[in-house]
Structure 1
Amino acid sequence: MDALASSAAFRPPVMDRSNYAFWKVKMRMYIKFIEKRAWKRVIDGWSPPRIVDADGDSRVKPEIAWANDEVHTSNFNSKTLDVIFAFVDLNVFSLITNFTSAKDTWDILQKHCEGLESVRRTKLRMLISKFESLKMVENETID
């Protein structure tokens, strides 16, 4: 089986807010499968290179002046954004359409679909409490 056919088997589903947890795991592996350095853009983030002008002001460096490593880093960010954009439905896409950093895009999806860290901890505590209060009835079997 060639690489293109085998990659189709690993493609993540289109995320529609109801399947975020599954999508997140599949997407993480898919991005790593495409290019490990692309996943690094989700972890480390990306912003256009900057230069300091004669007045000491920082501004975005013109693309024509980017060094090779700056171009490669930008390309990995673009690849990652392209993959994320390709596997979300139109409603979700409207949330992320203006982001230019793969990390920012990933973070906003996580915040939108999973909530803030405090909300996740509260949900986890509720699930733990619910699990601890589970009891079998007399006529129930383990099966």
Structure 2
Amino acid sequence: MTSIEFLGEGASLGRPFAFNGAAYMYWKERMLIFLEACSLDILEAVIDGPFVPTIAGTSDSSIPKPRSDWFEDDKEKVGYNAKAKNIITSALSADEFFRVSNCKTAKEIWDTLQQTHEGTTNVKRA
């Protein structure tokens, strides 16, 4: 299941652990640790989805704020998704990258990899 070569790769504080399609559960846990170490906000973008600035003071707070109206704080929070996408995709082999290349958010990438390598909730229960 796991190759010694795969497990023999050294850890790095600046580079995420590589994933080539083997030992997904091991890679997943290592990646969660890496993302958390980078920033809790980056990890949150992966788990909960990207931050979307919305217009305050409206009855429907789900109206996206135009980019021209974003504050610096909004820009920083939106950037966590881009950072998370970069971290995850930089760890993927070409085959794994092309599996998720159409995903728009870090959460979509993460969920696609999880479903591909772990299966759906129903598969896991069985």
Q: TM-score, normalised by structure 2?
A: 0.75
Output the amino acid matched with 2:87. V
Deviations 1:9-66 (A, max 9, x none): 5854311221211110000000110111110111211164456xxxxxx875443321
The structure where strand makes up a greater share of residues is 1
Paired residues of 2:42 and 2:80 also in contact (CA < 8 A) = yes
Aligned residues: 112
Aligned-pair identity (%): 29
Instruction: Mark the runs of 5 or more structure 2 residues left unpaired by the alignment.
Output: 1-10, 56-61
Aligned to 2:123: 119
Cα distance change, pair 48–99 in 1 and its aligned pair in 2 (3 A): farther
Output the amino acid matched with 2:37. F
Instruction: Mark the runs of 5 or more structure 1 residues left unpaired by the alignment.
Output: 1-6, 52-57, 123-143
Q: TM-score, normalised by structure 1?
A: 0.67
1:80 aligns with 2:80: no
Output the amino acid matched with 1:111. Q
Output the amino acid matched with 2:32. R
Paired residues of 2:47 and 2:107 also in contact (CA < 8 A) = yes
Deviations 1:95-126 (A, max 9, x none): 2112221111111110011100111121xxxx
**Superposition RMSD in Å:** 2.5
